[in-house]
Chain A
């Protein structure tokens, strides 16, 4: 999957966005779709792990403050599952303090972004995480 054939590098790669703010989710969905990603969104902390299991995204964007269950808890559960040990995860938080970054790192996030972020930052971050994934797939596949 995700093999680049000279066209859009990320064409068809799948991003799952777990974010309870519908307008933020809509904006991120728009900019990532424009960048060539296939984007799914989910708006709650409950059942979030099940969503990841069934959708199996290439990159996960996870908000920290979610109703039902925090992003940290969700990530901790995912990291405990063999299938998602290496899933690239970008965490979003509205607090952006040192402590949040530390907590995100401890929970196993690959990247961390504080709101309000710029669209270009989000696109760059997701590209970076997606590229890592392609590199891993490539070495495994060929």
Chain B
């Protein structure tokens, strides 16, 4: 399956990219995707405690399952306004 992973703000800087396409071999959840990204991009580690997860443009829990074609986003607590 193929999923799109987006990074924003400080997470994009830590990841060194704004977008990845991943092709996990087996069923996975948001937290596992973050773990995989953090393993390859160690600067993401320092964001682990505060990272927020979105699945298809909606806030989601770390244990939310990921399906083929999903769009995932990882970002820090928001600061707009």
* Bound together: no
B interface, CB within 8 angstroms of A: none
